[in-house]
Structure 1
Amino acid sequence: MSRGIVGSRAGRATIASPLHKDVFDLQTGECYTRPGELHLPTWWVREDEGVIFVAPRPVLVAASHGTADPAGQRAVAGLVDAVRAARPELVVEPSFVDVQEPDVTRTLAGLPDEVGARIVPLLLSAGFHVHVDLQQTRQATQRPVTVSGALGPDRRLAQLLHRRLLEAGFDAESTDRVVLGAAGSTDASAVRDCRLTAAYLAELVQRPVTAAFLAHAEPGLAAAVQQVRAEGSGRVFVATYLLAPGFFAGRAAAAGADVTTEPLLTADGPVPPELVEIVGELYDGRD
């Protein structure tokens, strides 16, 4: 926790660093003495006999699943970098619930003692990792830690899926058919969330969208592709509802569709602003 002297400037409360003489706006964190160079990461303040104590904002721990696929690793790292760029007042640390290191426990252990954390799962649905793994990690630590909800369901993700379909050649005027290809989960609420995302996407493509899964839930993606193909003419598109390239994306591509879209993140493409916005909102308190 930093310690400074309370003051005011143009009617706004300020805090001054006794050591460096820099003056910060308490509400925005902007630095008056070195604008654009310094920023005060403030979360809450406490006044004691004219002295204001400022606690740092919780660290944003971006917890993705993890993958052995280098393209998937680059894609997720790009999202973390984009969140850092969009929220320069925050400390953003990557971590993983499986496959890669550091795991969330190690990331939390490496933070300064006085700093809290807000874990934002970079997962599309709130299944076992969100409801069990990360909650157990939160309960096991001595520091103040909260866990946000998952990235989805969110209509902006459906808009991103729609954009991926258009990039892949989907024709709204044709008889093209769409299957949503999701990872799947043993958690019934996560499966419902995927079906809700399929409903959001159906509104955008103006035709039915079947939610199908690569593991743990039914219908399986390959079976759903076959069923949709048997029901009518036109190409069958799989809208890949996966965050990044990796094992499941490879399985989605092999499910027998005429066209399979890229995941929401690609290894070397631009990071979709929708994902950056959602991560920021989850950090700010949308559970």
Structure 2
Amino acid sequence: MMLNRRNFLMQLGLLGAGLTMAPQLIAAKVPQKAGFQLYNLRAILASDVPGNLAKVAAAGYSVVETFGYSKENGFWGLKPEKLKSLLQENGLTSISGHYNFNKLFIDGDLSEVDNVLEAAKILGQQYIVIPWLAKGFIKDSATMDKTIAYIAKAAAHVKKAGLKLAYHNHDFEFIPVDGKVFYEQLLEKIDPKLLDFELDVYWVVRVGQDPVKWFEKYPGRFKLLHIKDMDKENPQLNTEIGNGSIDYKRIIAHAAVGGVKQLIMEQENFKIDPFESIKRSAAYMNANLIK
């Protein structure tokens, strides 16, 4: 059954108190440490994984999100066990990973899902995240329904293995196709017990939507939050958190309603040295957005 705002607040004990605690809840910071998507360093990460992980930790991050895994090559040539060891050496943990499932969207093949489950468990990850979906898989209403069915199938498979599937958005999921908004369809049609969401705030804002309204419409569904700021001069570019046009203080003030457990900084392009950039973002996150 789909959770609504009233049920969510009742679970938190707020309605019984006449909602007197609701403002305090909404004003709370997210009770997690700063997270970092390793994709930020995709151009240089593989050249020195131990050194780059040390720099991520030194920049102020405690949690990382992985990407780029394959059964043949592991993570940038490292087996999951080795990566876990390196994370531990640097005081880092990994809550989630981005994994590609092309076969899943073609015919519902779960072999790629099986391939990543073992790696995710070794790293201690809680979430397996679908990072990208080719637009061809939601080109019309019928294709959209098929894709949703495949995601639900994979989500049930992941849950059976003891983890949770999550979906990471870009902008096109919010653009109507045959009168349907794919992102909304995922939220409406797949059991919340099976699928969570990693809301990418930048893409939501860029497509003209308000993340807070999604929190309020679907409370508790957005366990992970990708945060990257929007360059004030060129909205197609990113910038350091707190340096752009997105009001993250306002958004995070409502994050508890959305169910947010972890903030994960993602920046796909840099105007300054990447390590100086990620350090500035971590400083802002730790000072303003994280309890």
Category of TM-score, reference length = shorter chain: under 0.3
| Greater RCO, 1 or 2 (C-alpha within 8 Å, sep 6+) | 2
- Which one has a larger percent helix, Structure 1 or Structure 2? 2
**If you compute each CA radius of gyration, which structure gives the higher value, 1 or 2?**
1
Please give the TM-score of this superposition, normalised by the length of structure 1: 0.26
- Which one has a larger percent strand, Structure 1 or Structure 2? 1
Please give the TM-score of this superposition, normalised by the length of structure 2: 0.25
